[in-house]
Amino acid sequence: MHMSDALVSPAVGGVMLAAGAAAIGFSAKKLAGSGFDEKKVPLMGILGAFIFAGQMINFTIPGTGSSGHIGGGILLAAILGPYGALITLASVLIIQCLFFADGGLLAYGANVVNMGVFPCLFAYPLIFKPLAGNSWTKPKVTLASIVAVVAGLQLGALAVVLETLASRITELPFATFLLLMQPIHLAIGIGEGLVTAAVLCFVQAARPELLESAASEQKIDPKLRLAKVLGVFAVLTLVVGGALSIFASAFPDGLEWSLEKAAGTAELEAESAAHSAAGRAVEATAFLPDYGFKNADGDESSNAGTSISGIAGSLITLVIVCGIGFLIHIIRRRRPASA
């Protein structure tokens, strides 16, 4: 559900950038407070890499000609807590934008809000936690995962329609667009909810302390060993990003499918100085646009390009997210001394 720049006006893009920046700043401040757990820094990095890889795999929605991919907000929030999850997901989104031209720079704030704020800061605390309760049984985790993911995606899909409406993208009949976006993202949400439940059930079996600490926003035991969990996610990231991504569905994702049905094309265009500047910035930084080789002669979607994109993006995400986590850790440690 990555929005492109063509779907937002400069005014709407600016407002959403401010909203996204405020949410990221708020989350960073909360992490830098007493709730930050430096033991989760490597977990933030490896989970961010896993989500990057996971988002490359589109799964087909039967009978629709559409596909979907995981967003990862609920999965991250259930393991890292809502604030660490938002920071991690925002990092994934900016890496996808700048290095792979996936999602626009002008639309970055909208993508952070739609894909990060709604699941991490709303659906997780208000839906997932009450449904999962304190027992963390598989049926409860599965139900909580599906309902929370669906709720987060429905809010995000509605926000896309409203942001597009506010941007006055006249090519779109908005009632039709809305009636396409909500049902298709309901189906995508059920699929992502099942994936989320499967991963969280593994974590619950391997290290239930992670889910418990995220739910209570307390630090995990410093003596708790995370090598097994980190190792499993590292292997999964390499397999998903480097191999399984090759077999992703070729059907358009839910947003592109809705655009094609409503407007006859998913390639809307917008002309303004802000759109041009954002486009040039991404062109200058994207070394594997659309997850393919930049200078390949009509072969940007080759298997080699996809595999390299999955591995390279995952490694970049790992380094950047861990760097952000350690930076927050340093700021937190220095704060009492400066005070």
Lowest mean pLDDT among 47-51, 153-157, 178-182, 247-251: 247-251
Mean pLDDT of 127-141: 92
CB neighbour burial string for 201-230, b if at least 16 within 10 angstroms, e if fewer: bebbeebeebbebbbeeeebeeeeebeebe
Amino acid of residue 224 = L
The sign of the CA dihedral 47, 290, 2, 178 is negative
pLDDT tens per residue across span 237-257: 999 999 998 888 999 999 999
For the beta carbon of residue 269, count every other beta carbon within 10 angstroms: 10
Task: Please give the Cα distance from 123 to 120 (Å, whole number).
Answer: 6
**CA dist., res. 153 & res. 204, Å (int):** 24
pLDDT class for 339, splitting at 50, 70, 90? very low
Closest to 44 measured CA to CA, from 327, 324, 332, 333: 324
Model confidence at 320, in pLDDT bands (50, 70, 90)? very high
- pLDDT tens track for 83-92: 999 999 999 9
pLDDT of residue 294: 58
Please tell me the distance from the alpha carbon of residue 182 to that of residue 199, in angstroms, as a whole number.
25
Predicted local confidence at residue 87, as pLDDT: 96
* Amino acid 301: pLDDT: 52
| pLDDT band at residue 296 under the 50/70/90 scheme | very low
d(CA 234, CA 50): 7
pLDDT attached to residue 35: 57
- The pLDDT mean for the chain works out to 91
Q: Is pLDDT above 60 for 153?
A: yes
b/e for 160-198, b at 16 or more Cβ within 10 A? bbebbeebebeebeeeebbebbbbbbebbbbbbbebbbe
With a cut of 70, say whether residue 138 has pLDDT above it: yes
Tell me the CATH architecture of domain 5-338.
Answer: Orthogonal Bundle (1.10)
User: What are the C-alpha distances in Å from 208 to residues 8, 78, 289, 310?
Assistant: 41, 11, 39, 29
Q: Are 217 and 36 in contact (CB under 8 A)?
A: no
Q: Per-residue pLDDT for 34 more than 70?
A: no
Residue type at 338?
A: S
Residue 270: what pLDDT?
81
Look at residue 336 in the predicted model and tell me its pLDDT.
55
Q: What percent of the chain has pLDDT over 90?
A: 73
The domain spans of the chain are 5-338
pLDDT over 50 (residue 265): yes
Query: DSSP letter string over 87-155?
Result: HHHHHHHHHHHHHH--S-STTHHHHHIIIIIIIIIIIIIIIIHHHHTTT--HHHHHHHHHHHHHHHHHH
Please give the average per-residue pLDDT across 269-279, as a whole number: 89
